[in-house]
Amino acid sequence: MSKFFAFLNRMKYIKRWSLMRSIREENIMEHSQSVAVIAHALALITNKIYGGNIDVAKVVLLAQYHEVGEVITGDLPTPIKYFNPEIKTAYKDLEKDACFRILSMLPDELRGEYEAFILPDEKSEEYKLVKYADRISAYLKCVEEVKAGNAEFKKAKTSIGGELKKCDNSAVIYYLKEFAPAYELTLDELD
């Protein structure tokens, strides 16, 4: 009996932004879905607007599984995760070990099908788009929190937003220009 999917269901119980008070809490499962939607858009923008050759389905699946290791490790806040190179390396190793453990829960005949998404090639263009989508998702969470009156996310919003605006990916810049501003609007303003 494979415990894989039951184990992954725990993603909805792992909270994000654990050190910051949030107006609306977000769990890993919700975050992964958000990243998948943004990554899908980035892949389409890359292919349709900039003539790229991104595997759209691969991008969406990489995004959907990009936080799987956190089912075991939990979410370590970014300032701690990247505090110094030793912590960053140790945490990456811990996440990788967690991913191997989760993959081991699958039947042998399916393990290889999931491995490419749970332990991806970090040099692939698809993976890079997912990393950008993850940062955009973090930025949009900050926008949502600040808009709701939570000043605790102000500095992160400015920092992440500035980092994204300086990136050299055309699809990211397009997304920030065409889609991100709508997140600042109220429901009435979206009409």
* Contact of 44 with 57, CB cutoff 8 Å: no
- Show Cβ contacts of residue 157 under 8 Å, excluding neighbours closer than 6 positions: 139, 142, 143, 145, 146
38, exposed or middle or buried, with CB in 10 Å at 0-12, 13-18, 19+?
buried
76 or 157: which carries more pLDDT confidence? 157
pLDDT of residue 184: 87
| CATH class label, 4-190 | mainly alpha
Across the chain, mean pLDDT equals: 88
Tokens of 11: 């993603």
Q: For the ranges 55-69, 75-89, 140-154, which has the lowest average pLDDT?
A: 75-89
Looking at per-residue pLDDT, the higher value among 11 and 184 belongs to 184
Which range, 11-15, 23-27, 133-137, 146-150, is most confident?
133-137
The string of pLDDT tens digits covering residues 111-139 is 999 999 999 999 999 999 999 999 999 99
* pLDDT value at residue 163: 94
Model pLDDT, residue 52: 98
Are 146 and 44 a contacting pair, CB within 8 Å? no
Please write down the HEC assignment for all residues of the chain.
CCCHHHHHHHHHHCECCCCCCCCCCCEHHHHHHHHHHHHHHHHHHHHHCCCCCCCHHHHHHHHHCCCCCHHHHCCCCHHHHCCCHHHHHHHHHHHHHHHHHHHCCCCHHHHHHHHHHHCCCCCCHHHHHHHHHHHHHHHHHHHHHHHCCCHHHHHHHHHHHHHHHCCCCHHHHHHHHHCHHHHHCCHHHHC
pLDDT band at 168 (very low <50, low <70, confident <90, very high): very high
Question: What does the domain layout of the chain look like in residue ranges?
Answer: 4-190
Percent of the chain clearing pLDDT 70 (strictly above) = 86
pLDDT at 17: 53
